[in-house]
């Protein structure tokens, strides 16, 4: 079990966002997380990424339990975030550097790669997402589709083992959506574990091998 969650519940201000969630995901699986608005998909993804901590229950990643205390260890924190990448629903919040190049370079620089390695990764990611021409543009100048591609490029630059995405297809045109779908298939075939919260039911057959459905009362249905 690569990712295991038992009886995870999450409350804030006495409102329950997640209730007794149990999940088992194996390495290399591609999982779709579906459910109506407000069911807690985003919250669950945040817990998986260690941004929020559950009020009860246990979360195990690759044999180690992920707790607030464990993540206080700087080395573990860095490794954890390197291994799990998160593409936010809101691309504006995700992009904070001055140019697209810097944005993608941010992660590799933080983990201490040499400037040559950083450059290699940045160029490869720009090519993979077909956004080479945006290299020196400012992120806030880009269209929604370009921002989403840049966000994905920035996350992939860290070469995560697990890629989590929160409704990536929102606000994108058909061409970009198809591009993303093909990209996810490529990444899946390369061995990455993919967890994607989505509304797009039509994608599920092609990309994902497993579906986890959360209902309105925040339980797994």
Residues making contact with other proteins (CB under 8 A): 13, 46, 49, 51, 74, 78, 81-82, 84-86, 88, 90, 92-99, 106-107, 109-111, 136, 138-141, 154-155, 158
Q: Among residues 111 and 204, whose Cβ is nearest to other proteins? A: 111
CA proximity to 52, closest of 164, 152, 153:
164
Q: Among residues 140 and 189, whose Cβ is nearest to other proteins? A: 140
104: Cβ contacts below 8 Å, ≥ 6 apart: 121, 122, 125, 126, 150, 153, 154, 157
73: Cβ contacts below 8 Å, ≥ 6 apart: none
Q: Among residues 7 and 141, whose Cβ is nearest to other proteins? A: 141
Place of tokens 């999982």: 31
> Helix, strand or coil for residue 70?
helix
Which run of H or of E encompasses 212?
A: strand 210-213
Q: Among residues 78 and 210, whose Cβ is nearest to other proteins? A: 78
* Beta carbon of residue 189, minimum distance to other proteins (angstroms, whole number): 24
- Cβ proximity of 121 and 104 under 8 Å: yes
* Beta carbon of residue 23, minimum distance to other proteins (angstroms, whole number): 20
Q: Among residues 46 and 149, whose Cβ is nearest to other proteins? A: 46
Q: HSE-up of 76 (CA within 13 Å, CB side)?
A: 13
* Beta carbon of residue 197, minimum distance to other proteins (angstroms, whole number): 15
* Beta carbon of residue 33, minimum distance to other proteins (angstroms, whole number): 17
195 strand-pairing partners: 31, 164
* Beta carbon of residue 151, minimum distance to other proteins (angstroms, whole number): 9
Q: How many CB atoms lie within 10 A of CB 22?
A: 13
């Amino acid at each position: 079990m690569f990712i295991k969650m038992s009886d995870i519940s999450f409350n804030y201000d006495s409102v329950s966002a997640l209730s007794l969630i149990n999940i088992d995901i194996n390495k290399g699986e591609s999982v779709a997380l579906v459910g109506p608005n407000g069911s807690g998909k985003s919250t669950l993804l945040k817990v998986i990424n260690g941004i929020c901590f559950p009020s009860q229950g246990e979360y195990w990643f690759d044999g180690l339990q992920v707790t607030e205390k464990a993540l206080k260890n700087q080395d573990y924190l860095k490794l954890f975030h390197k291994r799990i990448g998160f593409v936010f629903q809101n691309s504006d919040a995700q992009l904070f550097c001055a140019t697209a190049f810097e944005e993608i370079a941010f992660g590799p620089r933080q983990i201490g790669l040499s400037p040559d390695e950083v450059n290699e990764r940045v160029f490869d990611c720009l090519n993979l997402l077909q956004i080479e021409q945006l290299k020196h543009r400012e992120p806030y100048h880009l269209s929604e589709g370009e921002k989403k591609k840049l966000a994905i490029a920035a996350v992939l630059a860290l070469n995560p083992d697990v890629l989590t995405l929160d409704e990536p297809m929102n606000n994108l045109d058909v061409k970009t959506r198809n591009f993303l779908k093909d990209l996810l298939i490529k990444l899946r075939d390369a061995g990455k574990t993919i967890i994607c919260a989505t509304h797009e039911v039509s994608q599920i057959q092609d990309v994902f091998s497993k579906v986890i459905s959360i209902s309105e009362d925040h339980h797994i249905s």
